[in-house]
Amino acid sequence: MKKLLHLTLAAMLLTTGVLGFTPQASANTATTSSLTSTQIQTLRTKVVKTGHQFLGVPYKFGAEYETSRRFDCSSFVQYVYKKNGIKLPRGARDQYRAGTPIARKNLKPGDLVFFSTKATTKYSRTSVKRIGHVGIYAGNNRVLHTFGEGGVKYSTMASGWWDKHYVGAARVIK
Assess contact for 102 and 171: CB atoms under 8 A: yes
pLDDT by residue for the chain (174 residues), tens digit each? Answer: 443 333 333 333 333 334 444 344 444 543 677 899 999 999 999 999 999 999 999 999 999 898 999 999 999 999 999 999 999 999 999 999 999 999 999 999 999 999 999 999 999 988 999 999 999 999 999 999 999 999 999 999 999 999 999 999 999 999
**What is the spatial distance between Cα 126 and Cα 107, in angstroms, rounded to a whole number?**
20
Query: pTM of the prediction?
Result: 0.83
Helix (H) or strand (E) run with residue 41 in it: helix 37-52
Q: What is the pLDDT of residue 31?
A: 61
Name which CATH class applies to 2-171.
alpha beta
Assess contact for 131 and 114: CB atoms under 8 A: yes
Q: What is the DSSP letter of 1?
A: -
Q: Where are the domains of the chain?
A: 2-171
Q: Among all residues, which ones are annotated catalytic?
A: 73, 133, 145
